[in-house]
Amino acid sequence: MSERKRVLMAMSGGVDSSVAAALLVQQGYEVIGVTMNTWTDDIPESIQQNQHSGCCSLAAVEDARAIANKLDIPYYVMNFKGHFAATVIDYFIKEYVAGRTPNPCIACNRYVKFDALLEKARELECDYVATGHYAMIGEDPAYPGRKLLGKSVDRRKDQTYVLHNLTQEALAHTLFPIGGMEKPQVRELARQLGLVTADKPDSQEICFVYDNDYGRFLKERVPEAIVPGPMLNTRGEVVGQHQGLPLYTVGQRKGLGLTTPHPMYVVALDPERNAVIVGEAHEVYSQGLLASDLNWIAVPELTEPVRCTAKIRRMAPEAPCTVYPEPGGSIRVVFDEPQRAVTPGQAVVFYQDRWVLGGGTIDRAVN
């Protein structure tokens, strides 16, 4: 490149960010590696030392530092504990207490990786922040200068769903070096480069819930919010008792403790009555939803109905729908076919072909 650009590379200690950093070095960027320390102090040291225990653990820091040494780039661990607790953990708890089901990875990307870290990059006079996400950034020829968020080449690993909150400012200063690669290619390149993370398993759990037991985490943090109450069917009849609203989510079947002629599922959570609403399988489906807290990427705003596809959770298939703008900046989504377990608090993300149109937070299901 004619002018050497400086990049702040977010290194999680995994194979994806390791290869992303290596590619940037190969491409001639001046790379500064950084791991964001977000782990709370109550996580046992034995968990933090576990090499598979998440993206911010002590073991992850050791792996990231080893990669930085291998690539001969400067490396730092930056303390984001307070910011992470306020914008991700507190949000996670608040949403569950309110009877909603949040996605903390979306909040982390929004407020930590592409907000606080981007600000840190500016302080270090970096031109870009880079991560190991599976996504791509493009430009819309119809709108010069407008950035687009696109699906990665590896559709199975695509992470655009959790990146839908990226603003134009963030997209203009972000690089996704492995977005054009398949996961097996990433691992093979890591082996060729002799990176210690080449065969490291992917982290699956939420980093601050180290044992993936949301119930345990919430009982420890907000025991006063775990209050038993009635379990009602869709006709309002009491059919059982629940153990605490935050311990349930829409679509759940197991653990309801009900004996009924037909399998029952959680249809909705009602914080006002502290009630879990259950129904039969067909009652879990909804024709549409209302959403707010929207971020549009491919367009500045939505001013008229638009046809697209939508995902209502990360692993859900895209569903054809029509999106209607509503007063106050919210939207109404009508699906061509009813969708299962439309869940308040989760994100709904809209696509047109390979590009992200935008996304927001589901307020409620509608029929």
126 included as an active-site residue: no
pTM of the model: 0.93
* Rg of the chain taking only CA atoms, in angstroms: 22
pLDDT at 56 over 90: no
pLDDT in tens, 280-295: 999 999 999 999 999 9
- Token pair, residue 274, equals 């502290």
What is the number of other CB atoms lying within 10 angstroms of the CB of residue 236? Answer: 10
What DSSP designation does 158 have? -
pLDDT in tens, 211-232: 888 889 999 999 999 999 999 9
Q: Distance between CA 172 and CA 92 in Å, rounded?
A: 28
pLDDT of residue 144: 83
Q: Identify which of 228, 251, 254 has the alpha carbon closest to the alpha carbon of residue 241.
A: 228
Q: What is the mean pLDDT of residues 67-71?
A: 97
Set out the domains of the chain in order of their start, with CATH numbers.
Answer: 6-192 (3.40.50.620), 227-279 (2.30.30.280), 285-366 (2.40.30.10)
Is residue 195 within 8 Å of residue 67, measured between CB atoms? yes
Q: Confidence class of residue 51 from pLDDT cuts 50, 70 and 90?
A: very low
pLDDT of residue 55: 57
pLDDT in tens, 250-270: 999 999 999 888 999 999 999
pLDDT at 34 over 90: yes
DSSP codes joined into one string, 284-325? GEEEEEEEEEEEESSSS---S-EEEEEESSTTSPPEEEEEEE
Q: What is the mean pLDDT of residues 314-334?
A: 96
pLDDT of residue 60: 86
pLDDT of residue 38: 84
Of 56-70, 205-219, 244-258, where does the model show the most confidence? Answer: 244-258
pLDDT at 46 over 90: no
- Packing angle between helix 15-26 and helix 58-71, nearest 10 degrees? 20
Q: How much is the mean pLDDT over the chain?
A: 92
What is the number of other CB atoms lying within 10 angstroms of the CB of residue 208? Answer: 20
Name the catalytic one among 55, 105, 207, 321.
207
Q: What is the mean pLDDT of residues 41-54?
A: 53
pLDDT above 90 as % of the chain:
85
Is residue 14 within 8 Å of residue 202, measured between CB atoms? yes
pLDDT at 43 over 60: no
Say which range, 38-52, 94-108, 143-157, 188-202, has the weakest mean pLDDT.
Answer: 38-52
Longest CA span, the chain: 71
Q: Distance between CA 360 and CA 152 in Å, rounded?
A: 20
The span from the first CA to the last CA of the chain, in angstroms, equals: 54
108 included as an active-site residue: yes
pLDDT at 45 over 60: no
pLDDT at 78 over 50: yes
Name the catalytic one among 55, 56, 105, 108.
108
Q: Distance between CA 308 and CA 296 in Å, rounded?
A: 13
Residues 6+ apart with CB under 8 A from 12: 35, 55, 56, 60, 64, 132, 203
What is the number of other CB atoms lying within 10 angstroms of the CB of residue 175? Answer: 22
Is residue 13 within 8 Å of residue 55, measured between CB atoms? yes
Give just the sign of the alpha carbon dihedral 281, 288, 151, 122: negative
pLDDT at 167 over 60: yes
Give just the sign of the alpha carbon dihedral 23, 25, 28, 32: positive
pLDDT in tens, 340-354: 999 999 999 999 999
Q: Distance between CA 108 and CA 110 in Å, rounded?
A: 5
pLDDT in tens, 299-309: 999 999 999 99
pLDDT of residue 209: 86
pLDDT at 49 over 60: no
Higher pLDDT, 11 or 144: 11
pLDDT at 41 over 70: no
Cα dihedral 334, 338, 341, 342, rounded to 10, equals 0
339 φψ region: left (φ > 0), alpha (ψ -120 to 50), beta (else): beta
What DSSP designation does 5 have? P
